[in-house]
């Protein structure tokens, strides 16, 4: 959801297939910051038309059950015969926005943005948001230019699995094969003031793998992570929230810095490290995130 | 060689210096997917003119001996006094194309392409192919724009040794110093529909080093590797072919996915991982590569 | 300082806050290749105006004491109210140039260059030099275009701490979170013929950490490193100078190559590695750096 600083706060973005109503109905019990009803890859081709027709009813159910967190629909890519019908159905329901897959360039973002503008002109309770999923080589190469294509775009997500399929590579545990693309997507997002949501972890039984991957994503600057199952949501929320130690250390670092400033010293040592504005800025961001973590939950 | 899907299949690209005729004559006994007669760095400056004059005769010998795999000539860079004479000699022989070194921008590709066009207009048995070797900082910075400079360009190769010399760095076993450039070259190649051929390994006695480097290259999306010696060819062919385990696992994954689709479930679990289209796409690519590996050899 | 090959040779760039005169006065006893009087982040906001007024006197002291190495001033960024007064004060003193922080695009370089041009037209003993510090996401995204914005620009420095704060990431010991940005900055610098100076290490008591980080920076192509304390200067000078082993090995490699060339063989094996021009070029660069290390010190 847009925060005071006008940035989306999504630590966890939980997907479920649009044709699995029994899974979708569990959303209100789950602690994700945002949810995605997936009309695309999660739903078999033969089920997509039927799933689309159920969409409005499912969204009504979720709103009645007071879903916390933002609600998105992943529509099919613009090259699919489903694309137009998906967008129409999604924007006919009371959702917060669209997640557009396989974004390859500015025109994909413009097309999505135009649909949101049209829906807003027909009247909406809340502003609509676009998340662009960058998961092809084309998308990565064009990522810098597409971030400014439409003002509805509020976040980029990076799809490492699709990216590696598209480039013809192989996934490894270490993940060096996507470091370039993953770094480029988060840099383009942040340069444009957008949020950045990191890749899924398909090893759904391996919590340690998820934690390690989330830690790397966070170090790169990502704000949250796409989740395939409810069990990954808690791990993502944890990885993308400040730890008690970080909060404590940030408070002490700021206090030490302010004390030094009062004595006319700008750079001081704190527990063996030099404190300068970058470190200080991170400490302040930790305290801000910690307070938002409580305030921003509906 | 161009495949049904119009992509070059080069797992191994074996170099030998143009002045070492005894090495060139062994090409027909070797199992590389493609071969390079090297008029540039492999041949001492003082020998290059003489080596160029032998070229036509050597190519005739290799064709008589029924060389399997594509045959390229590496000419000297456009800044060299040898460049024009090299290209004329190479295109006067029955080769499959040119490997152009030190490609720094679109103009280098255009110049090579124009030479191939002229040769084709004079009449050729087969279409001519260009491979661009990206091995300078300029080339890496301009790589995206040069991929579309001429339709003969069918592959980019990444020269890590020259790149590190040009940037003034140092080679390490881990290879993080070239990860950015190596990632950018393969991404630019694939975005333009070109094949991508990975860097050499100069530790010619260290097979384990070659295997590790090839595995990383493959995970990044490279299709094959440049080889300095025949012993590296088998390692490269092995690294860039699907393993029996991968083929077996891919067959079972596709079967499980199709069975689930028949039951209306798009995303299913297979051996602890979520199957979705990216994973499925990789499984299908494995089976396609496995069949091409047999069919495409001459 | 500009060398025969017109490239700045800065292995170590030592910072001290402009308000800490007792630290600045120690510069002449230290062995750094270049020094920075820091009017920006190292000096508390409330002390900056006073520190600026002391600047001229401090520079006079350092010149009297025959400071070896280049002398720079880090001014405040163009968005700061201090910016103009800082530049005027700095260029009123006998310094070698400016280090501009938070460079985000070509206009920041142009503004700095224009100030140097104006100062040179008023008459200077020596030419003035600009170092651009790339430490924001904007700067990294625009780095290629800003390198050619003004001919005074002689080096780019990469600020990893600020970059990670700006992108909202976290620092790790391994440093993968900045590999993309750090690689892009050095590539842009070298493509434009500029020197490249690597990030600080804030763990000021951990020499091993500094050595490892310097080794990675050197492998990436950086020429030197920013230093926060005198104890880091010796480590940086060591890391960015050729080792006795490298010098010895380079001499032997060149001798072997020349002997082989005399026998008409271009590529030869030397201690289990193939020698070709890239390896040879690195060997020659080692010997050149070794001789410059002695000759270029004032």
CB contact (8 A) between residue C47 and residue A187: no
Tokens of C84: 């103009």
Q: Determine the Cα angle at A162 with ends A161 and A168, to 5°.
A: 95
Average pLDDT score over chain B: 91
Single out the residue of A244, A275, A273, A279 nearest to residue A260, CA to CA: A275
Instruction: Check whether A106 has a pLDDT greater than 60.
Output: yes
Confidence of residue B292 (pLDDT cuts 50, 70, 90): low
The radius of gyration of chain B from alpha carbons, rounded to an integer in Å, stands at 20
Chain A residues within 8 A of C205 when measuring between CB atoms: 272
Is residue A205 within 8 Å of B272, Cβ to Cβ?
yes
Longest dimension (CA), chain C: 71
Q: Which secondary structure element, helix H or strand E, spans residue A284, and what is its range?
A: helix A277-295
3-state SS track over chain C: CECCCCCECCCEEEEEECCCHHHHCCHHHCCCCEEEEECCCCCCHHHHHHHHHHHHHHHHHHHHCCCCCEEEEECCCCCCCCHHHHHHHHHCCCCCEEEECCCCCHHHHHHHHHHHHHHHHCCCCCCCEEEEEECCHHHHHCHHHHCCCCCCEEEEEECHHHHHHHHCCCCCCCCHHHHHHHHHHHHHHHHCCCEEEECCCCECCCHHHHHHHHHHHHHHCCCEEEECCHHHHHHHHHHCCCCHHHHHHHHHHHHHHHHHHHCCCCCEEECCEEECHHHHHHHHHHHHHHHHHHHCCC
To the nearest whole Å, the CA of B4 is away from the closest chain A CA by 17
Q: Give the residue among B82, B62, B78 at the shortest CA–CA distance from B70.
A: B62
Percent with pLDDT over 90 in chain B? 73
Can you give the C-alpha Rg of chain C in angstroms? Answer: 20
Which residues fall within 8 angstroms of residue B212, CB to CB, at 6 or more apart?
Answer: none
| Full-model pTM | 0.91
DSSP string computed for A33-72: SEEEEESSTTS-GGGHHHHHHHHHHHHHHHHHTT--SEEE
CB interface of B with A, residues 179-218, below 8 Å = 179-180, 183-184, 186-188, 190-191, 216, 218
Scan residues 121-160 of A and list those with Cβ closer than 8 Å to C: 144
Over the range B228-250, which residues count as b (16 or more CB within 10 Å of their CB) and which as e? bbbebbebbbebbbbeeebbebb
Residue of B nearest to A181 (CA): B183
Nearest to C176 among A186, A216, A276 (CB): A216
**Strand extents, DSSP E, chain A:** 12-17, 34-38, 70-74, 97-100, 129-134, 153-158, 195-198, 224-227, 268-270, 273-275
C174-C177-C178-C181 Cα dihedral, nearest 10 degrees:
150
Q: How far is the alpha carbon of B159 from chain C, nearest alpha carbon, in Å?
A: 10
Summary mean pLDDT of chain A:
90
Helices assigned H by DSSP within B192-276: 207-220, 230-239, 244-262
- CA torsion angle for B18, B20, B26, B30 (degrees, to 10)? -60
C144, C180, C261 member nearest B141 (Cβ) = C144
pLDDT of B60 higher than 70: yes
**The two structure tokens encoding residue B275:** 């199957």
Name chain B contacts of A137, Cβ cutoff 8 Å. 187, 190-191
Q: Is C247 exposed, middle or buried (0-12, 13-18, 19+ CB in 10 A)?
A: middle
Do C146 and C186 meet the contact criterion of CB atoms below 8 Å apart?
no
Q: Which residue has the tokens 């383009």?
A: A188
Phi, psi of C162 (to 5 degrees): -65, -40
Facing residue for A179 by CB, picked from C45, C169, C180: C180
CA distances from B114 to B98, B122, B153, C255 (A): 12, 13, 11, 40
Name the residue among B42, B170, B204 with its Cβ closest to that of C218.
Answer: B170
pLDDT class for B203, splitting at 50, 70, 90? very high
Look at the alpha carbons of A247, A248, A250, A254 in this order and tell me if their dihedral is positive or negative.
positive
Q: Measuring CA to CA, which residue among B257, B192, B253, B254 is closest to residue B221?
A: B192
Count Cβ–Cβ pairs < 8 Å, chain A vs chain C: 106
> What Cα–Cα distance (Å) separates residue C270 from each residue in B204, C215, C254, C264?
10, 24, 10, 16
Which among A32-41, B263-272, B285-294 has the top mean pLDDT?
A32-41
So what's the pLDDT on residue B270?
79
**Closest residue in C to A215 (Cα–Cα):** C170
Using a CB-CB distance cutoff of 8 angstroms, which residues of chain A are in contact with residue B184?
180
Q: Taking Cα atoms as reference points, which of C127, C198, C115, C117 lies closest to residue C156?
A: C198
B-chain residues within 8 Å CB-CB of C219? Answer: 164, 169-172, 176-177
**How many other CB atoms are found less than 10 A from the CB of residue C50?**
12
Q: Do B203 and C265 touch (CB under 8 A)?
A: no
Q: How far apart are CA C89 and CA C39, in angstroms?
A: 11
Six-digit token string for A234: 């808690």
Give the model confidence (pLDDT) of C31-72 as tens digits: 999 999 999 999 988 899 999 999 999 999 999 999 999 999
Inter-chain contact B167–C220, Cβ cutoff 8 Å?
Answer: yes
Residue B297: the pLDDT is: 37
Q: What is the mean pLDDT of residues B242-265?
A: 86
Let me know: does C134 contact C158? Beta carbons within 8 Å. Answer: yes
Rounded to whole angstroms, how far apart are CA atoms C39 and B52? Answer: 61
Is residue A258 less than 8 Å (CB to CB) from chain C? no
Tell me the shortest Cα–Cα distance from B130 to chain C, in angstroms.
23
| Chain C neighbors (3+ CB pairs < 8 Å) | A, B
pLDDT of B286 > 90? The answer is no
* Maximum Cα interatomic distance, chain B, rounded to a whole number of Å: 71
pLDDT tens-digit map of A66-88: 999 999 999 999 888 999 999 99
Q: Do A167 and B187 touch (CB under 8 A)?
A: yes
- The domain ranges of chain B are 4-239, 244-292
Q: Which of C190, C219, C281 is facing B137, going by the closest CB pair?
A: C190
Confidence tier at B245 by pLDDT (50, 70, 90): confident
User: How many angstroms separate the CA atoms of B91 and B56, rounded?
Assistant: 9
* B81 vs B14: which has the higher pLDDT: B14
DSSP code of A200? P
Could you tell me the pLDDT band of residue A296, with boundaries at 50, 70 and 90? Answer: very low
Question: Where are the extended beta strands (E) located within B101-192?
Answer: 129-134, 153-158
**Residues in Cβ contact with A228 at an 8 Å cutoff, skipping those fewer than 6 apart:** A15, A200, A201, A202, A204, B267, B274
Average pLDDT over residues B256-267: 79
Predicted ipTM?
Answer: 0.89
| Alpha carbons A43 and A52: distance in angstroms, whole number | 10
Q: Which residues contact B112 (CB under 8 A, 6 or more apart)?
A: B87, B98, B100, B130, B132, B150, B152, B153
Interface check C273 vs B, CB under 8 A: yes
- The pLDDT value recorded for residue A277 is 76
Ranges of residues in chain C whose predicted pLDDT is under 70: 1-7, 266-267, 272-273, 292-298
Chain A hits for B264, CB-CB cut-off 8 Å, are: 19, 44, 46-47
Through-space distance between the first and last CA atoms of chain B, rounded to whole angstroms: 9
pLDDT of residue B258: 86
CATH fold of C4-239: TIM Barrel (3.20.20)
What are A129-151's pLDDT values in tens digits? 999 999 999 999 999 999 999 99
Q: Which of A159, A168, A228 sits opposite B274 (nearest CB)?
A: A228
Distance of alpha carbon C198 from the chain centroid = 7
């Amino acid at each position: 959801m847009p925060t005071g600083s006008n940035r989306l706060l999504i630590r966890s973005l939980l997907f479920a297939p649009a044709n699995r109503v029994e899974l979708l109905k569990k959303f209100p019990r789950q602690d994700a910051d945002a949810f995605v009803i997936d009309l695309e890859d999660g739903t078999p081709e033969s089920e997509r038309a039927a799933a689309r027709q159920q969409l409005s009813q499912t969204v009504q159910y979720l709103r009645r059950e007071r879903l916390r967190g933002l609600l998105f629909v992943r529509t099919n890519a613009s090259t699919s015969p489903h694309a137009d019908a998906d967008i129409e159905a999604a924007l006919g329901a009371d959702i917060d926005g669209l997640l557009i897959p396989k974004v390859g360039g500015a025109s994909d973002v413009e097309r999505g943005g135009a649909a949101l503008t049209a829906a807003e002109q027909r009247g909406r309770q809340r502003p609509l948001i676009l998340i662009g999923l960058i998961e092809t080589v084309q998308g990565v190469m064009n990522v810098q230019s597409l971030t400014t294509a439409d003002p509805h775009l509020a976040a980029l997500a990076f799809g490492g699995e699709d990216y590696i399929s598209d480039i013809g590579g192989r996934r490894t545990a270490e993940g060096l094969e996507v470091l370039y693309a993953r770094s480029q997507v988060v840099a383009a997002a942040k340069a444009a003031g957008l949020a950045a949501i990191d890749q899924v972890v398909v090893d759904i039984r391996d919590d340690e793998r998820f934690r390690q991957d989330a830690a790397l994503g966070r170090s790169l600057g990502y704000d949250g992570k796409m989740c395939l199952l409810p069990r990954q949501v808690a791990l993502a929320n944890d990885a993308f929230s400040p730890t008690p130690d970080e909060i404590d250390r940030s408070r002490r670092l700021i206090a030490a810095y302010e004390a030094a400033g009062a004595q006319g010293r700008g750079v001081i040592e704190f527990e063996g490290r030099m404190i300068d504005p970058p470190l200080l800025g991170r400490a302040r961001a930790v305290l801000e995130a910690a307070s938002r973590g409580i305030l921003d939950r509906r």
